[in-house]
């Protein structure tokens, strides 16, 4: 459940705005100004100032979050525009393979397409077994293990 946001009176919001507009004013000057303006006691204005500072912090935090969200959205859009999708990459490579006048470019494009599509043959594995150190059952088991590895590729 989201945290309940406190509600602030108009007087607290006015004090918060004043504090933001006049950051050079000390607390005593703000108290004196608003005691006269609002006809309230020092203690009340002092409480309002504390609430106004909380209000300003939450307001600044919201503004910073909004800026961050805009930056993240812009970055995502830029990444989406810059990075090609798999289909776009395949289409470009396919056009190169079909239309390039240079044979070397065509070969490289087809090689890249083969890699992307998984058409490449599995890599060969070299295995050295010394049969004299193994029993017939161990050799059979090793052959079965190698076949399984090969089939899994």
Helix axis angle for 86-99 and 103-117, nearest 10°, is 150
Calculate the CA dihedral of residues 79, 81, 84, 86 and round it to 10 degrees: 90
What value, to the nearest 5°, has the Cα angle with vertex 6 and ends 5 and 8? 135
Structure tokens belonging to residue 15 = 């004090």
CA 134 to chain CA centroid, Å, is 54
Cα distances (angstroms) measured from residue 113 to each of 74, 82, 118: 31, 20, 8
Q: What does the alpha-carbon distance between residue 36 and residue 125 come to, in Å, rounded to a whole number?
A: 90
pTM value? 0.48
Confidence of residue 92 (pLDDT cuts 50, 70, 90): confident
**Tens-place pLDDT, residues 7-23:** 678 999 999 999 999 99
Span 94-109, pLDDT tens digits: 888 898 888 888 888 8
Six token digits for residue 42 = 């020092």
Question: For the chain, what are the domain ranges?
Answer: 10-82, 85-120, 125-153
Contact predicate 59/16, CB 8 Å: yes
Q: Is the pLDDT of residue 27 over 60?
A: yes
pLDDT grade for 3, boundaries at 50, 70 and 90: low
Per-residue confidence (pLDDT) for residue 34, from 0 to 100: 93
Q: Which residue has the higher pLDDT, 112 or 80?
A: 112
Name the strand (E) or helix (H) holding 81.
helix 42-82
- For the ranges 2-16, 32-46, 87-101, which has the lowest average pLDDT? 2-16
């Amino acid at each position: 459940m989201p945290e309940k946001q406190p509600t602030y009176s108009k007087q607290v919001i006015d004090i918060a705005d004043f504090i933001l507009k006049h950051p050079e004013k000390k607390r005593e000057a703000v108290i004196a100004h608003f005691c006269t303006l609002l006809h309230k006691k020092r203690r009340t204005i002092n409480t309002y100032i504390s609430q106004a500072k909380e209000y300003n912090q939450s307001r600044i935090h919201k503004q910073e979050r909004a800026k961050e969200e805009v930056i993240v959205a812009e970055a995502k859009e830029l990444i989406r525009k810059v990075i090609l999708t798999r289909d776009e990459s395949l289409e470009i490579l396919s056009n190169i393979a079909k239309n390039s006048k240079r044979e070397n470019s065509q070969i490289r494009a087809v090689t890249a397409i083969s890699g992307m599509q998984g058409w490449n043959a599995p890599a060969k594995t070299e295995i050295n077994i010394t049969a004299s150190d193994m029993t017939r059952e161990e050799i059979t088991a090793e052959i079965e293990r190698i076949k399984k590895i090969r089939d899994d590729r």
